[in-house]
Chains A and B, each alone.
Chain A
Amino acid sequence: MSDTKGFAKLQFAGVAKRYGEVVALHPTDLVIQPGEFFALLGPSGSGKTTLLGMAAGFVSPSEGSILVNGQDITRMPPERRNVGMVFQNYSLFPFLTVAANVAFPLEMRRHPKAEIAPRVRQLLAMVRLEHLADRLPAALSGGQQQRVALARAAVYNPSVLLMDEPLGALDKNLREEMQDEIKRFHAEFGATVIYVTHDQQEAAFMADRIAILNHGRIEQAGPQSELYARPNNAFVAGFLGEANLLRVTACAAGEPGSRSVTTQEGLRLVVPQTSRTGQIACIRPADVTLSPAPLCYANTYLGTVVDLVHAADSIRYRVQLNDRCQISVRATSRRCDARFERGQQVYAQWQPEDVLLMDN
């Protein structure tokens, strides 16, 4: 089924969008590799939909250009770009049956009738909706409608598949089911996908690489593991996963093989010798170990449990380290052999490598 037409390299070269004085997107460079599942992640108004609209041809860039496999498509109208788009509100044509919706792009491309019907059946089979081919969209559930939209956007082998928060309108359980469905579809279909979302778990679960956007800029792009382990700045650290962010006020050389930094709150943190400099220190709540007696960690602080919340697979503690500093600690069931009560004294500790230094 892997059709080589499905693999295209998409390149944004210095694209920017301004509406009068308002900057929707600062000049941005981004290359999306053939067959890659790429997520644009960010809060609303961060520019992710603008970037997607440029790829689709709805938004014309104020500057810069967009290339598909090296061909400039910046000024090409949407219907000639051969991109597929899945919208948050499904956008199925309500007066056409499911099969006619999926056939629509093939008819627009003047495919012979004899080819259309089997191809439509094939795509509906891929999203497991063959039995609903003759229904109108209104008779389908939200998840089913989105699967039809996916089939319709993919039926003509678009060079790039664009998805604008496709699961935003679905409830949580259905969303998770559809995430699997879309991943399976991508694996089977093998298209280059740009996936816009504001849900970091969804992006982490589905995408090969993620670009995190904020205020019309890409803050950082890379595989999820890299963004999580080496965030460039405080926004990325806070947006992808949980983070205790502490402001660094001074750096000092420590014992051989390590350095230390002092934070605004008066904590002295031992960091690896090799780590970069930065104004912000980040400690992931999951990297902190709590124990009743000190263990052998370079960073060990005596604190008091001020609050705890039980989640499904972990316990989240708030630990007061000194009168200016509280941190979050997430103890997974595996690691919390010892449980702590509110008001109890505990040692919070972590390794130098667990302290991530970054820009503000």
Chain B
Amino acid sequence: MSGCPVAPPTQRFAQRMTQCVLRGYSVLAFTFLLLPIAIIIPMSFSNQPYLGFPPPGWTLHWYEAVRDQPRWLAATINSFCIGIPTALLAVVFGTLAALGMARGDVRFRKFLLLMVMAPMMLPHVIIAIGLYPTLVDMRLHDSYAAVIVGHTVIGIPLVFITVTASLRSYPASLDLAARTLGAGAWKAFRRVTLPMIWVGIVSGGLLAFATSFDELMLALFLTSPGTETLPRLIWDQLSFALTPALAAVATLILILSMLLQGLAVYLGVRRSVAKRAMP
């Protein structure tokens, strides 16, 4: 727009119209995407014993029900006990893979890249079918380890992507400079590479945690009653009682997800501000 300050009035009118239409279209699209999520919140305060919209009256009863039902609390703790180790493992393996692929002298790079990214493209049910009998054989199917292994597999590509992006955001000669200046491989990583890529590592870890926290398919196969996660419990409850308690749980998960998202975005913004200061 600023590129053509002397555009004739008709052209300016056309431009403005186009902009209005585009803006309207974007608003509609976002509404369509977000409305189902937004509807969950009022439904969780409904005074009816079933899920419905709009609710005729309001109550906090369903939140109390969730609080008083120990199964929900146990599932929440399970989700954290699975999500946190998953995020840590995915960070270790994903970061190592990204470093190797970005900086290392790797043969068959394209093939390896495909292998690292495969868990993101593959349907989770296929990963689950593959893991289930193996973990049963190893007598791990009743433990946290089973689902942590599964979730780590799908978390690695997420960390790989964010860390690779960080590694590409600065020239490799920075790492080489550290080496010539007397830092061994590990010291160069700790003193130079890590400060350059920690935002990528943390965002990747948050993504891996959030994915594990939301994931249902692997959880169906790989958790037992003792290790069931929140999504799995929601799924079980759905099949016999569609009460607003489910909406209450969903609302709580939504708030947590948004906090994590906000944190990741905040880190990303801080980094891009820092980068703008560094031409």
- Name A residues whose Cβ lies closer than 8 Å to a Cβ of B: 56-58, 77-79, 81-85, 87, 89, 91, 93-95, 104-105, 108-109, 136-138, 152-153, 156, 162
List B contacts of A152 (CB < 8 A): 181
List A contacts of B278 (CB < 8 A): 94, 136-138
Closest 8 pairs (CB-CB, A-B):
A108-B182, A138-B278, A105-B181, A78-B179, A91-B177, A85-B180, A91-B173, A87-B173
Q: Mark B158-181, 1 if CB is under 8 A from A, else 0.
A: 000000000000110110111111
Please report the C-alpha to C-alpha distance between residue A85 and residue B181 in the assembled complex, in whole angstroms: 8
Residue from A82, A94, A153 having most chain B Cβ neighbours under 10 A:
A94
Cβ A79 vs Cβ B173 within 8 A: no
Cβ A87 vs Cβ B177 within 8 A: yes
Q: What residue of chain A has the Cβ atom nearest to residue B179's Cβ?
A: A78
Chain B residues numbered 183-225 whose CB sits less than 8 Å from any CB in chain A:
183-185, 187-188, 191-192, 195-196
List B contacts of A79 (CB < 8 A): 179-184, 187-188
Residue from A78, A94, A105, A152 having most chain B Cβ neighbours under 10 A:
A78
Q: Given known contacts A77-B184, A156-B181, what 16 new A-B pairs fall within 8 Å (CB)?
A: A56-B180, A57-B179, A58-B176, A79-B183, A79-B188, A82-B182, A84-B181, A87-B173, A89-B171, A93-B192, A94-B196, A94-B278, A104-B181, A104-B183, A108-B181, A108-B187
Please report the C-alpha to C-alpha distance between residue A91 and residue B179 in the assembled complex, in whole angstroms: 12
Instruction: State whether the Cβ of B56 lies closer than 8 Å to any Cβ in chain A.
Output: no
Please report the C-alpha to C-alpha distance between residue A91 and residue B195 in the assembled complex, in whole angstroms: 14
List A contacts of B183 (CB < 8 A): 79, 104, 108
Please report the C-alpha to C-alpha distance between residue A87 and residue B177 in the assembled complex, in whole angstroms: 8
Instruction: State whether the Cβ of B277 lies closer than 8 Å to any Cβ in chain A.
Output: yes
Q: Which listed residue (A58, A84, A95) contacts B195, Cβ 8 A?
A: A95
Please report the C-alpha to C-alpha distance between residue A78 and residue B180 in the assembled complex, in whole angstroms: 5
Instruction: State whether the Cβ of B279 lies closer than 8 Å to any Cβ in chain A.
Output: yes
Residue from A81, A93, A156 having most chain B Cβ neighbours under 10 A:
A93
Q: Mark B22-66, 1 if CB is under 8 A from A, else 0.
A: 000000000000000000000000000000000000000000000
